[in-house]
Structure 1
């Protein structure tokens, strides 16, 4: 299928994820006009300066009128209110998609707020990111060689799904499809819980009486492990609450592993401790090699 041409793309939330999507489509010459919506005037002006968007608008309902494609690029906690605002103003054939990190909750939001639009709703999650945020962080090549997961609704039409798939492929992404529950379970394990463990570890260090001294001597191991602890607080609060069941399951599994590790150390069981570390080390090395060859 050839990539479809979008006459009007509207970004609800103009930041790294949505902005990079727009830039990639502009480079592929698959979009004529991009409207950015947001509450931060400075960010929108910056987006215009960087040619991420062509015009800015603070009114989502007004902005989506006549749009071919609407991309929800806000934290998941803001999506419901935006869907409610735009619902009466969408063209019947307008495709609505998103970049939310959780999918079961977002799928329910589509059903609740866009019941007349479900055939053209395509929930999605691009697996890409950065420590930076806002329109100034947007880049043409963010999605090249990266994965994007689509979790279509039962009502999603084949045409809408293929259009969104083709657009992501035009951005350079490798597109996968799975159901929303499977998605949330997978990403609880490999994305959501790692962030929360990093937050917890960072707070544990900060609670020490000599926290400042510890941080002063921290090296590359600390840097690598805590990098994601610098992530956006509101976004990760929303992700955690939205996917709380899968996250709690995996957090408890992590607690069980920590308790096992504590037991090995308390028993000074050198052989079993070596086996425990070796199992993780070999699995991580094998994963790294496999990823490097892709």
Structure 2
């Protein structure tokens, strides 16, 4: 499918893309790019066979590449675009893996004055709490959602090729409007991470005076698992998508206020109905997920 794949940012996601692309024969060679502080990680990636070679010079990394994947945190996308601008090739396809798409599109517009038609915004709905190339795996994207968010001027041939690329790595590809994507992810991913971080932050401070964590059951561990995620990455994601997240936080405050009132008035019937609706809604989600 591609002759030379360039992965900018060979971490969990970038490394897993490289592994999957190699496993499924989607490219002839893979080169990784990073900064000086990424040298050890890149050396490890080469030693593990995740990439064929690496360089700290972007011009060398993209030279001859017909597919360039930006697998860096969303906060760094604009600086990557700035570095790529003088090196941009009309014969290559560029894509990214950012968790927010509006911020990525805006970054491209600030750097280029427009969004290049051979840039295909994408977002794999996959990940783990670990980071770095040692956490990368061959099947991270197998049967996982991948959302492509083309805009009006996106080259349809480039978009189709990126779609095939992800499909051949086992992803379930959907095409979605940028604004719709950011709204959906704010509700299903960004807000849950904020909730987990906030709950553990609150209980962590309480735990300094008591033994809350010592007696935490399995449900606490399950609910707060995502609070083990990279704080820097999630700080950047939430800041980039704050316009979608803030209204959801307001809605959640209203829901918590409602539950507080039900407790204060001993309205256990309504409390039961609220909990029952939530349980049934989650079961509908699970049934839909299992059927897919």
Is TM > 0.5 for Structure 1 vs Structure 2? yes
Cα separation, 1, equivalents of 2:43 and 2:95 = 24
* TM-score when normalising by structure 2: 0.96
Cα distance in 2 for partners of 1:117, 1:264 equals: 50
- Distance in 1 separating the partners of 2:88 and 2:187: 36
Q: Tell me, in whole angstroms, the C-alpha distance in 2 between the residues paired with 1:21 and 1:271.
A: 50
- Other-structure match for 1:142: 140
Alignment partners' CA distance in 2, 1:153 and 1:26: 29
**Once the 2 structures are TM-superposed, how far is the Cα of residue 292 of structure 1 from its aligned partner?**
2.2
Match of 1:13 in 2: 9
Greater Cα shift, 113-122 or 71-80: 113-122
What is the alpha-carbon distance in structure 2 between the residues aligned to residue 289 and residue 276 of structure 1?
Answer: 20
- State the number of aligned residues: 290
SS in 1 for 2:4: strand
Which consecutive unaligned segments of at least 5 residues does structure 1 have?
none
Could you tell which deviates more after superposition, 277-286 or 70-79? 277-286
Contact 2:207/2:213 (8 A) holds in 1: no
The ranges of structure 1 where at least 4 consecutive aligned residues each deviate by more than 6 angstroms after the TM superposition are none
> Which whole-Å CA distance do the structure 1 matches of 2:187 and 2:60 have between them?
39
Q: 2:65 aligns with which of 58, 64, 67?
A: 67
- Conserved? CA contact 2:108–2:114, under 8 Å: no
User: Does structure 1 residue 33 correspond to structure 2 residue 29?
Assistant: yes
Tell me the alpha carbon deviations over residues 207-251 of structure 1, each in whole angstroms, 9 at most, x when there is no partner. Answer: 216555101111101101100011111111111111001000111
Which residue of 1 is the match for residue 53 of structure 2? 55
> Paired residue for 1:154, among 149, 152, 159?
152
Aligned twin of 1:23? 19
Q: CA deviation at 1:42?
A: 1.4
Q: Determine the C-alpha separation between the residues in 2 that align with 1:212 and 1:50.
A: 45
1:196 to 194, 210, 227: 194
Residues 133-164 of structure 1, C-alpha deviation per residue, up to 9 Å, x if partnerless?
A: 11111111111111100001211111101110
Distance 2:191 2:153 in 1: 31
Alignment RMSD? 1.4
Q: How far apart are the structure 1 equivalents of 2:18 and 2:175?
A: 22
- Whether the 8 Å contact between 1:11 and 1:73 is mirrored in structure 2 is yes
2:138 match: secondary structure: coil
What TM-score, normalized to structure 1?
0.95
Using the TM superposition, give the Cα deviation of residue 45 of structure 1 relative to its aligned residue in structure 2, in angstroms: 1.1
Structure 2 residue runs without a partner (length 5+): none
User: Structure 2 vs 1, CA of residues 117 and 89 (structure 1 numbering), >3 Å: closer, same or farther?
Assistant: farther
